[in-house]
Structure 1
């Protein structure tokens, strides 16, 4: 039969297991499952385990419906017997088919008892025990217990009150204390202020539970009826609690070290911790950039220092390529004349002649009244390759340089030319095969300085 609970299909619970899924099939050959101590304890608790299996087997929606029906019936203390009409009235919000399926499942596995003679249902003691343990766990889960020790300690306290505390219950509490100690040590070793403060808050809560559990441990250790294993587990818990309480100094030293290394932003009083806390308060950090950036930043490398660096790199690369080793030449007579002038010097002389001879070139303003007095910089630098144009542009800042003009040489002649170089921060796109764009600048004739010195 297929069970349908709240519109969700679930496989039926079977008490038996086939040969391939038997318990012994999970162990190595030669090892009997009955030889394992924990298997013996679990088999002895098989009725209780079957009750939990009946409730939690299947999908999550089916589990919620079963718990809902069982909790509704167990919560009614006005009567101990429920007819089917009473159940239909109490759970009228459920579909009749779903309710019938849940009642059949609970009755089959001993959570509800059916009295055929009186035609009523009764909640079994096993069902009340299961619901009680679940209610304790659920109530502790809803409480503010970041240390997650409340449920474990409540189990130990309840068992001690009725004289039935077990070693396993104490070991569960001990295991949680050890886990918390390791977690706090990792937080201290991390050096993260936010992680330290979060762990410190959890440490304070754990200490509160330690204080509540100290009296229980003293009662266990002073109980003469407790066996040696119980005494040893209680003493181990006491040592774990002491180690946990001694971590207060470690937290204080770590936080003081972070406080000494805190970085403040100028005189604003804000620290990097304040900035991080403010950033963590925003779920979407990318939204902070909306409206802050209008368009991508486009750097313009047009300062003289960058221009000179680019020009030198290009010219030196060209000279290295032209002067690279090509093997030993064949023997021949030496030529009568050899031009030892480097390419850079020849280019500088040509550039100086172009700037000095305005009238012959026709591309620059002359001293006459009819010629233009200003020309764009691209008309003076082009046409040329990128390397030559960059080299020429690197020489432009020398125009009008008084310190350079007082010296001797080609660059000094360039500095003494009556031309003014006026650069701007904007760029213009060119229709040139070698240069894509260039800064907008002009060369202006300085008439007050007189004609260029052609010497």
Structure 2
């Protein structure tokens, strides 16, 4: 072993005493606060051996970390044998310098990532090292997938823990925190009014919804587990509510994009819009290069002082007076004929509003018995209709009971003020329809608190 490797191994093998660690940790806290009184410190100190393993792997520069992970992964991936002689390691990692390999092996060995069997003269990968590598490989694998919402790894941790019966409240809280972050991010995108930000967030929302669908079964298993504690149940229920809030943002995205579509400005009869121009400009990294050879002479700015401005104004006032009275107003012209593209959509909205208003009338609302809740399946209210019309009607259902929309004016505001409640479920119902094979099972019911108003 070289002198450099010996010095490195000696530095790694030096571990401070427990009292030195306690005093060093206490130095980061207020003098009147005891480290042992903080619950999270207790949990982290209990996991000190595992945390020291991560420290041994990831301490230092990126190049050093990469070499340590490379050596450990090369040895752990060899399933043909569980023991490695030094000659085997040298042959397997011949592309590394002997001094660097020696330093890495000493560090892994001193931190219980490699076990040295002195009797047989071989190295073995420890179980803790395999657990650490498995966690890192799982994160790297999910990082390569198309997960714009960054929910896959958190959900995989919850799913794996649930499969072995060891899901913790902390794992659920991490997943809940990410769902809340996504909801706030999507709300900010909708409030921004930017079409590009809206479409980017909508694509991430679709990815998040895919993970929500995969995680619904896991959450149902957690909430139905009688052995789970109260904190786990509360965290799972909070995740369910966060998922519902996330799924209900579909209508908000649709309304925001429709509003942008109505306000889009088109450039004459070219068919181009401001969105097309912005997308074309964003495709160029150097916008200044577009002006190359476009301006023949440089721009010469002209400056004028207030004195010259007064002189020009006086000249205009004294010499350019009108010499004769106006002959009269110009002759009128017919206004250009334009086609209203929203007539069909507005008519469909008015028809749908009339139909729902008829449902909201107490005498027309179906009921099985006098005291039973008055409700009707949504698919009976949506159909018969074409797929496009039924989809448009379904996109308006989340507006029912929306207080923000009800405070506005217009047809959608009248729809939001109807005394109806939209109650969706996760169940699908098969339909005997030419265009729609299945639809989510949901109900439209008359608000009981508004029953007296409807009756009057």
So what's the TM-score if we normalise by structure 2? 0.64
Task: State the match for 2:103 in structure 1.
Answer: 101
Distance 1:190 1:48, change over 3 A: same
Q: Is 1:133–2:135 an aligned residue pair? A: yes
Task: State the match for 2:360 in structure 1.
Answer: none
Could you tell me how far 1:20 is from its partner in structure 2? 9.9
SS at match of 1:22: helix
- CA displacement 1:2-31 (0-9 Å, x = unmatched): 9989xx9xx858532757971111111222
RMSD: 3.1
Counting only pairs closer than 5 Å after superposition, residues 71-90 of structure 1 correspond to structure 2 as 71-90=73-92
Q: 1:200–1:251: 8 Å Cα contact kept in structure 2?
A: yes
Counting only pairs closer than 5 Å after superposition, residues 291-330 of structure 1 correspond to structure 2 as 291-298=293-300, 313=311
Distance 1:296 1:129, change over 3 A: same
Distance 1:312 1:257, change over 3 A: closer
Separation of aligned partners in 2, 1:56 and 1:13: 17
Distance 1:142 1:311, change over 3 A: closer
- CA displacement 1:43-63 (0-9 Å, x = unmatched): 111110010000001111100
SS at match of 2:27: helix
Equivalenced residue count is 313
Separation of aligned partners in 2, 1:99 and 1:312: 84
Counting only pairs closer than 5 Å after superposition, residues 161-180 of structure 1 correspond to structure 2 as 161-180=163-182
Separation of aligned partners in 2, 1:2 and 1:50: 26
Task: State the match for 2:45 in structure 1.
Answer: 43
Task: State the match for 2:64 in structure 1.
Answer: 62
Structure number with greater Rg is 1
Separation of aligned partners in 2, 1:3 and 1:21: 33
SS at match of 2:112: coil
Task: State the match for 1:151 in structure 2.
Answer: 153
Task: List runs of 5+ in structure 1 lacking aligned partners.
Answer: 317-389, 398-402, 405-455
Could you tell me how far 1:35 is from its partner in structure 2? 1.1
Which of the numbers 112, 115, 128 marks the counterpart of 1:113? Answer: 115
Distance 1:300 1:23, change over 3 A: closer
Q: 2:12–2:110: 8 Å Cα contact kept in structure 1?
A: no
- CA displacement 1:94-117 (0-9 Å, x = unmatched): 000000000000000000000000
SS at match of 1:26: coil
Which of the numbers 200, 208, 215 marks the counterpart of 1:213? Answer: 215
Separation of aligned partners in 2, 1:215 and 1:245: 16
Task: State the match for 1:232 in structure 2.
Answer: 234
Task: State the match for 1:16 in structure 2.
Answer: 16
- CA displacement 1:312-362 (0-9 Å, x = unmatched): 81797xxxxxxxxxxxxxxxxxxxxxxxxxxxxxxxxxxxxxxxxxxxxxx
- CA displacement 1:221-253 (0-9 Å, x = unmatched): 000010000000000000000000000000000
Q: 2:148–2:207: 8 Å Cα contact kept in structure 1?
A: yes
SS at match of 1:163: coil
Could you tell me how far 1:291 is from its partner in structure 2? 1.0
- CA displacement 1:30-87 (0-9 Å, x = unmatched): 2211111111111111110010000001111100000000000000000000000000
Separation of aligned partners in 2, 1:66 and 1:111: 11
SS at match of 1:121: strand
Counting only pairs closer than 5 Å after superposition, residues 224-263 of structure 1 correspond to structure 2 as 224-263=226-265
Distance 1:226 1:312, change over 3 A: closer
Distance 1:311 1:128, change over 3 A: closer
Distance 1:14 1:191, change over 3 A: farther
Separation of aligned partners in 1, 2:98 and 2:44: 36
Distance 1:271 1:56, change over 3 A: same
Q: Which moved more, 1:11-20 or 1:128-137?
A: 11-20
Counting only pairs closer than 5 Å after superposition, residues 340-355 of structure 1 correspond to structure 2 as none
SS at match of 2:49: helix
Task: List runs of 5+ in structure 2 lacking aligned partners.
Answer: 325-456
